[in-house]
Amino acid sequence: MSTDKQYEEADDFRHAVADTAVATQKRLADIHGPQWTARRDVAKTVLSLASATLVLTVTFADKLLQAASPGSTKLSALAWVWVALLVSVAATLTSLTLAVQLESLPARIISMLPRMFETFKTARSEGEHPIRALDPLMQAATKPLRPYDQGSWWCLLIGLLAFFIALAILGSIGFSYLH
């Protein structure tokens, strides 16, 4: 076989492997991308609202507690509001941090291209379907993303719940001033 023919075949299978990898990455991004984007947007919103609520309640704590006696439940309730808001901020920050890892899919696939080239070449020389031989490598590239995806979702849920608990307690403090 001539050297030119070998290079041509090498380029063909490199293109086939790269095309398969890019198509898989695009398919995954098309399926999961909107959900990841929506989750990130909700986390940013909750983070902004929880942070702003925390800053406002700390800033106006003296006014909120003006009428409260030293052993009042309002003081402990406000402390619980701050704890819940801090949990909300921490959980949503963690959710966003984990969500960033989900964006590493293209880099993971690109870093596996040399192994994919070798797998493709071996499968082709052994008479196997070369594209199917890449499936285990694609699964290996995407499997580490699952814990990040689930962790991001759970942290966002915790952040939302903590934020709503803080709002409920804060609302009860405000409602107690009406009586």
Instruction: Tell me the pLDDT tens digit for each residue of 63-91.
Output: 777 766 666 788 888 999 999 999 999 99
Predicted TM-score of the model (pTM) = 0.76
Secondary structure (DSSP) of 67-129: T--TT-HHHHHHHHHHHHHHHHHHHHHHHHHHHHHHTTHHHHHHHTHHHHHHHHHHHHHTTS-
User: What confidence score (pLDDT) does residue 30 get?
Assistant: 84
Residue 13 has pLDDT above 70, yes or no: no
Residue among 143, 134, 98, 92 at smallest CA distance from 114: 134
Give me the pLDDT at residue 36, please: 87
Domain count, the chain: 1
3-state DSSP percent of the chain in helix, strand and coil, to 5: 90, 0, 10
Domain housing 135? 3-178
Highest mean pLDDT out of 5-9, 36-40, 134-138: 36-40
Residue 67 burial (C-beta neighbours within 10 Å; 0-12, 13-18, 19+): exposed
CA–CA gap between residue 33 and residue 103 (Å, rounded): 9
Between CA 139 and CA 121 the distance in angstroms is 19
CB 175 within 8 A of CB 146: no
Q: What is the mean pLDDT of residues 23-44?
A: 86
Instruction: Give me the half-sphere count of Cα atoms (radius 13 Å) on the Cβ side of residue 12.
Output: 9
